[in-house]
Amino acid sequence: MTGDDADMSPLPPNPRLAALDAVAARLRCPVCGEGLRRDDRRLSCAAGHAFDIARQGYANLISGHRRHHGDDARMVAARERFLAAGHYRPVSSALAELVATQAPDDDGIVVDLAGGTGHHLVAVLDASPRRYGLCVEASTAALRRAARVHPRAAAIGADVWGPLPVRTGVASAVLSVFGPRGVAEVERILGPGGVVVVATPLPGHLAELGRLVGGIGIDPRKPERLAASFRRFERIARREVTRSIALAHEEVHAVMAMGPSARHLSDDRLDRAITGLPGVVDVTVSVEIAVHRAVTGQRAGVR
């Protein structure tokens, strides 16, 4: 490369933004739907809509009024502590194996919807060394972590209930792990042969803890509702991860504090409820992982 060529280079490489640069061409402006490109610390479209890239490296693609804020910092920290202890490793491994074997072998990305800190995306990308990942999240606390979780994972702030700032047909796989999803948008962003891998709790999941504080029961009709929402897809694989895990009191605290009941429970109340338990608490993890293939894949690059 000559000196002149080097000067023409639009931006110096920024290792922290390498994954965002790799996936930027697959993103779209949340205002007008045009493609986005990075311009230093912003992503912008040809019409001039611009979105800041946070210091941690995630791009905030939420336009207008923010309706969902996702998990707060306390919940995210609890989730991170719990996941780091490896209790959901068999879930991550199953997700990784399913993406590696069922997603088409093309240049599509893996989109982790409501991906939290990107914990499961790490396992998926490690098992698929040519793929890039994109964590789509509403929670700022989660995005800060997800942006740095893996060299091939980018993170964007977006509401998964709304239109996704992701171009049509660019995903080979969509992950939806214990989080909200809009099925029509999943279908739109998947390319031909693309798969959505959905992890949901089965009725026994963490059941022992539900008794402790009351009310983390799982709707027994959830599998039917899930199947109905994916009726335009073909289910091509299913795994069940059911195991017993032994939790110390801090871990019981973490698993409770990361879930929906945490919003209504202070740390003190949680600790008081946990004090009466045996030193080690046996808890059931029971998760279904289903893989659905889009029957009509979209053509990549079309809005």
Ligand X SMILES: C[S@@+](CC[C@H](N)C(=O)[O-])C[C@H]1O[C@@H](n2cnc3c(N)ncnc32)[C@H](O)[C@@H]1O
Q: Sheet with 50-52: list strands edge to edge.
A: 37-39, 42-44, 50-52
Nearer to ligand X, 14 or 261 (CB): 261
Residue 114, CB-side half-sphere exposure with 13 Å CA sphere: 19
Site map 45..74 versus ligand X, x via CB under 6 A: -----------------------x-xx---
135: closest CA among 27, 45, 35? 27
**Interacting partner of 139 out of Zn ion, ligand X, none (Cβ under 5 to 8 A depending on kind):** ligand X
Across 268-281, b (16+ Cβ under 10 Å) vs e yields: eebeebbeeeeeeb
Number of residues in contact with Zn ion under rule CB under 5 A: 7
Q: Give the number of other CB atoms < 10 A from CB of residue 36.
A: 25
**Interacting partner of 141 out of ligand X, Zn ion, none (Cβ under 5 to 8 A depending on kind):** none
Residue 185 in the binding site for ligand X (CB under 6 A): no
Q: 24: phi > 0 → left, psi -120 to 50 → alpha, else beta; which?
A: alpha
- The two beta strands, 42-44 and 37-39, are antiparallel
Residue 241 in the binding site for ligand X (CB under 6 A): no
Contacts of ligand X in 163-182 (CB under 6 A): 177-180
196: closest CA among 212, 222, 176? 176
Nearer to ligand X, 14 or 284 (CB): 284
Residue 120 in the binding site for ligand X (CB under 6 A): yes
Contacts of Zn ion in 30-89 (CB under 5 A): 31-32, 34, 45, 47, 49
Shortest Cβ contact with Zn ion: which residue?
Answer: 29
Please give the residue ranges that form the binding site for Zn ion (CB under 5 A): 29, 31-32, 34, 45, 47, 49
Please give the residue ranges that form the binding site for ligand X (CB under 6 A): 68, 70-71, 79, 114-116, 119-120, 137-139, 142, 159-161, 177-180
